[in-house]
Every structure is written in C-alpha cells, then in structure tokens.
Structure 1
C-alpha cells in the first residue's frame, strides 16, 4: 500500500518541528528540510525524484516559502505524466530555458561581443583546429572588445573599427590585419542574421584602404634568430647528447626543415617508415596544402628513438610530453635552447646579432646552407621548406613536389648535420635535370 499523501497541516508541523531530512509527501514529491545555520533559519524546498532510462534524477520545484504544497503537488503530477510518457522533465525544462534565453536575445539587439561569440560557434566546426578558434576569440578580446565589445552590433561604425586598429596597425601589422578581417566577418555575419544593414565598416577595399596604409608598407619582417650553418655540426653534437622529448623533436625538426608546430603535432599515422615519408595533412600546414617530407636515415633513427619512448602507433603524438600521451609544448624546446651553452662557455648558442637561436630559425640555417654550400636548384630548396613559388607564372607550371630531388637534398643535409664538428665535406653537384 502506497504511503498516505501529506496534508498542509502535516507539512506545517514538520517545518515547525524542524524535522531535518527528506520526506515523501506525495508520489514523486519530496520535502527537504535543512538544519538551521548560525545566524540563519532553516531551509525547506520541494523536489521531484524520478527514474528514467535506469537513471535517477532530481528536479527542484522551488522553496517552500514560494511554492505551496498544492502547487508543488501539481508540478510533481505534471512531471510524473511526462516520465510515464517516456520524456525527461528536467531535460525538457532545461531545453525550454535555453529557448527562452535565445528568444530574449533575439528580441533585443546583441552586442558586438555576443554577435562575435555566435559567429565563432557557428564557424568553429569548419576551422582547422581548436587553436584557430581560440586565436579568434583571443584577438577580439584583446583588440576589439575594449573599444566596442558592449556596443550594439548595429551601431558599430568606421570610427569604432579605426579605434581598435589604429594602435596596432603599424606596430603589429600582421595581427592588425587579422583583427580587421575578423571584425569584418562578424559584421557580415550580423548582417545575414538581420542585425545590421548597409556597408561593412571593416571592409578594406574602397574603404579602410583609403584611411590606413597598406600592410605591405608597414610590414615588419619577423625575425627568428638562426644559427650560422657553419656552426650546426657542433650544435648537433651538443643536441644529440641531450635526452628527452624536446631534444628529439628539435633534432627531427632540423633534419626535416619543418616548422616546429608541424613537428610537435606529428602523429604516427602520418609516418610511413617503409616509404620513408612523413605526410603532413593540409589542415596542419600553413599554406593549407598537404606536404610530403622525405625521411633521411638520420630522421628515421630519431623516429626509432621516439617510438621506443612512446606509444608508437595510430593517432598518438610522435613527440609526447613527459608523463602523458599529449603533445609536447613548443615552450619545452624554447626553454631547452635557452639552457644549452656553447661547449666550454656559459653563453647560449646565438645568431650573429647575439640573440639566442630559435627552433624556427633552423629553417633559415637550412636555407642558407642549401643556398651557399650546395648546387641544388632554388625550387627544390623552396619546396623542401614548403614555400610556394612567388612567381605566379612559374608556380602555374610547377605541378609536382620534386620528392625524389628533395630526398637527395635532405640526405645531404642529414650528412652535414651529423658529421663531426670541423670535418670538411665536398660540395656535390645536383642530379642531372
């Protein structure tokens, strides 16, 4: 026989007596009475407890002072009918709350910040990776929101956009250009959603191009401190003597002339040791095109060391951080380079200007060596660096990736890197064209 439902008088008696705990007062309906806290009275609330799909759930129905027993019982009965019909009342309530919030947002004009957040959410699935979405949010948070983040999106004008861009247009031209493009995209998205009309105040052609200097006129060349190629064999000896994933990753980056981000994101699924190839998918390449990297004997030896230290298969990172299967941080390589000292000194390895060398700088080291110490054609060297040809006519006819020639180039590079410091190697002529 089911327990008798409580009356209002029984509920009031339990409250007066401060009967702590949870009491079943009707089917699925519970009264919870909490002990009074110092300086406060006791608390009492209604809840509906139920099971659905084998899962126990509790849905709050409000405080006793705000909801009468009759109202709580009615709410519990309505929820019980939903459960018997196979619906989850708590999920339905959460869904209705979201719909109400969306309707409230649609009923008023969103701010630029809110419009930007909606645009990012709608586009995120099509972007290369989570880092790209984070960069979008971070640049707008840093450079746009302080100026007009809380301004209704339909009121953003040219003065707002210029206020955000002017402080960084000449000092951080690359960043400023990206910020402008992202503001333009958010405002275009807002127009499609019916929040704006008219021209986009962040557009470049025929608008901001008349108010701001071209990026090419103010573009500062980003400097990555690079080791002189003549010092590389000595550096390699010091690097090869170091243990750890950071040293392995840098050795592989040097041998492949790849960007450090491409190396740190490499997975075993991209590596084919039989074909001696590392195939980097387009989504991880700066130019957005798949890039094949021929692997020298020295590069394969580094991979063998990495495989022995990690998972060595599938989607696992080739160069994992210590104690985890996750990726190694680029800061780990940077910190290692700062700690490395030239043999017999307390000074770090530096470039000609005295700046500590960087991981990215070894691409310049490779480029200088290939251009000064070999006879390999320029297009082979540039292809090894995954650079596109600047001459559009030349690029239109360059359909292949010169893999065979690049394999020869990278083998020579590996021989040079790993030779004993001070040894002399003859310059080789490139293979017949």
Structure 2
C-alpha cells in the first residue's frame, strides 16, 4: 500500500514550486504534478498488481492516474478521486483497463449503429472540402454509393463488413469497367480508413493488400472496353429498338461523342434547335470552365426534338422522379443487359464509345486529327498550338458529326 504523505493545506499546496511530482497527502499516492512549462495537474500514483521487468524479475506494477488540472479540480476533490481509485485497486480492479473496456464497448455500440451507407455518406460529407476543384466530386461518389454499394451492402453495420462483402460489390464491374472498379475500390478503401480513424473498426476490409489476394489484377490494356466500329451500326439498331430514358441517353451520348457526365446533366436551354448546336457548359466539362459546342447531325437533332416534344422535366434525360438527371449507373445497367463486347471479350462501357468514335474517324474517314480531338473536347497537348488556337472548328466538326450520325444509324 502506498505511503500517505503528510497532509498539506490548500495554501501549502498552492505554494509548491518546481517541476516534478510533489506528494500532498490526504489520500494514498496523491501528487501535484508540475511540468517544466509550469502547468499543474493532479496525479494518483498507485500500485496495481505486479509485472515482470526486463531482467525477468517480478516487481510491483505502478501506474499514474490523471485526476484533472489544478485549475479545474480542487484539492478536496482530488483527494476524493484518489481515494475512490485506491478502493478500486484494493478490489483488484484496474481502473485504466476498466476505462479502456468501456471505451471499446462504446466504440462497438457506435459501430453497430452506423451502416455502410451511413459511413460512406458521412465520409463524403467530411471530405468534400478536399474536392473544391472538382464540383462533381461529391455527386459522383454519392452516385457510386447509390448504384453499386447500397443495393449490395448498404444496410450492413460497418463493424460486420468482411472482405468478401467488398468483393461482392466490386466483382460486377471489375473486368467490365476497370476504371469504375478502381474509383469504387478507392471510395470503399477510404471510407473504411475513415471508419478506423473513428474507432468504428480496427481493420480495413477494402485494403489493397487484402483485395489483391481475392481479385485478379485490374486490366491495364485499355481502361475503357470499346465496341469495334464495324459492329456499331448493328448495336445501334438494337439500342434504338429499346424503350426508356436509359436507351435514349445512351443513344445521344454515342451520337454526340460526349462523356456520360457531360451528356446526362443536360438541360433543355442548352439545345439551340435553330442553329443545330448543343452547348455543354464548362462547369460540366472535364476541362472545367470551357463551354463545348456539339454540332447536331440529323440523327441527333431528330432524337432531341422527339424528346423535347414529350418533355416532362427541365432535364433532357431525367431520372425516375424527374427531380434529378439520370445516373451513369442506369446506362451501365442497360449495357449489362445488351452485353456488347470489345475485341478481347470484355463488356463495353459507356466511355468506350468515345474510343469507337476516335478509331472510326482515324481509320474510316479523311477528317483531320485536330477536328476529331476537338470533337472529343480533348485538351491540346502542344502548348504553342494551344496558345494560338482561337476557334473551336465548329463547321468542320459539323461535317464530322454528320458523317458519324449517318454511320451510326444506317
């Protein structure tokens, strides 16, 4: 049992100077701790059983228990706390172990209360400040959550998720859309790192070193499987025979050679039917800040006119409730159903049709490469050329898009 020092008065304790642990009495092991900076706090130094030291000998195990700062806890209260701790130790209860167990129990209860959907949502909310240069950073991640994660493991508690659950989410897109799989895997991995930081769990089931043992290596040969242009007209016949917004959105995306994020967010004021131009605002383009004009060939113009005549929303391609645009996942689901394959047998993804357009332009037409690149809204890599380029080659691109539409729909 620790020796009880001479009981000092509050005035005597207040007058103690110099860094170190100063016994103040009134309770076993009670000390006033003064740091070199002058900060003062209460410490109870108690013996809690025994331990084996480096020499292999059994010695008393002494621990220091913080009781609060000198400014917040008075001398009498510090003595009461020290006495309560001493009573616990006498009953062979380790106060620190009890506290750690309580924290672990509380963390387990918090983890049980938060679902995967809730964790991803909160992670995105906490991290959105990091994506200020990517205005769609939040919406893209929440779209992945809705499309791929929530339907599979969204209702699971974070603490119950295993690597097999992560694989179940990733496998449908692992080979068919490596780029999507990479982004989805990153979102899951970062979410579970966030969960670890919040003590919801102690490991990360989506860690790269774990998934590398359960899934094949992501394809390096072309991130976006694309349809050979020779079979595109037959694919378009099948696509145009299908009903629904997803089919019309995919048709328009192919005919415009836009990225899916650029076409799906479209609103009707962007389309000028008289001038036959669809202007995608710079805020939705990959190269932010630069509007992109899409000249409308006959086929795309007719499609947009048909949709405009039956419009029910401000969105050209509205989602199910009409309040939001269609998600990229809807077109991906359609492609899963249609199952078009690239030259290596991989399922084609939406973005791959831009590669189809590029290959067709290069191999089957005489349209210049710079017209093709401008139609794809690619950044000019040559800085000198970029500095002197003033126009967007609209009329030359109009000829290209007329030929593309006629090729797609024969």
CA–CA distance in 2 between the matches of 1:323 and 1:145? 32
- Indicate how the Cα distance of structure 1 residues 306 and 389 shifts in structure 2: closer, same or farther if over 3 A, else same: same
CA–CA distance in 2 between the matches of 1:358 and 1:119? 31
Query: Is 2:341 the partner of 1:292?
Result: no
- Indicate how the Cα distance of structure 1 residues 147 and 238 shifts in structure 2: closer, same or farther if over 3 A, else same: same
Provide the residue aligned with 2:376 in structure 1: 385
Query: Is 2:277 the partner of 1:277?
Result: yes
Matches within 5 A, 1:7-406: 120=127, 128-129=135-136, 130-131=138-139, 141-142=190-191, 144-145=193-194, 148=197, 167=208, 220=220, 223-288=223-288, 289-311=290-312, 316-340=314-338, 348-406=339-397
CA–CA distance in 2 between the matches of 1:282 and 1:368? 26
Q: Is contact 1:120–1:133 with CA below 8 Å preserved after alignment?
A: no
CA–CA distance in 2 between the matches of 1:372 and 1:337? 25
Residue-pair matches, total: 239
**How many angstroms does 1:301 deviate by?**
0.9
- Indicate how the Cα distance of structure 1 residues 223 and 322 shifts in structure 2: closer, same or farther if over 3 A, else same: same
Q: Is contact 1:384–1:406 with CA below 8 Å preserved after alignment?
A: yes
- Indicate how the Cα distance of structure 1 residues 241 and 283 shifts in structure 2: closer, same or farther if over 3 A, else same: same
- Indicate how the Cα distance of structure 1 residues 121 and 242 shifts in structure 2: closer, same or farther if over 3 A, else same: closer
- Indicate how the Cα distance of structure 1 residues 125 and 388 shifts in structure 2: closer, same or farther if over 3 A, else same: closer
**Alpha-carbon displacement from aligned partner over 1:261-304 (angstroms, at most 9, x marks no partner):** 11111111211111111111111111112211111111111112
Q: Is contact 2:312–2:322 with CA below 8 Å preserved after alignment?
A: no
CA–CA distance in 2 between the matches of 1:322 and 1:370? 35
CA–CA distance in 1 between the matches of 2:253 and 2:385? 28
CA–CA distance in 1 between the matches of 2:308 and 2:125? 42
State the secondary structure of the residue aligned to 1:306: helix
CA–CA distance in 2 between the matches of 1:118 and 1:394? 41
**Alpha-carbon displacement from aligned partner over 1:79-124 (angstroms, at most 9, x marks no partner):** xxxxxxxxxxxxxxxxxxxxxxxxxxxxxxxxxxxxx999857678
CA–CA distance in 1 between the matches of 2:141 and 2:352? 27
**How many angstroms does 1:359 deviate by?**
1.3
**How many angstroms does 1:393 deviate by?**
2.3
State the secondary structure of the residue aligned to 1:370: helix
Provide the residue aligned with 2:118 in structure 1: none
Q: Is contact 1:124–1:133 with CA below 8 Å preserved after alignment?
A: no
**Alpha-carbon displacement from aligned partner over 1:19-48 (angstroms, at most 9, x marks no partner):** xxxxxxxxxxxxxxxxxxxxxxxxxxxxxx
**How many angstroms does 1:395 deviate by?**
2.1
Provide the residue aligned with 1:160 in structure 2: none
CA–CA distance in 2 between the matches of 1:273 and 1:377? 27
**How many angstroms does 1:414 deviate by?**
0.5
State the secondary structure of the residue aligned to 1:363: helix
Q: Is contact 1:317–1:327 with CA below 8 Å preserved after alignment?
A: yes
TM-score normalised by structure 1 residue count = 0.48
Any gaps of 5 or more consecutive residues in structure 2?
1-122, 145-182, 213-217
TM-score normalised by structure 2 residue count = 0.51
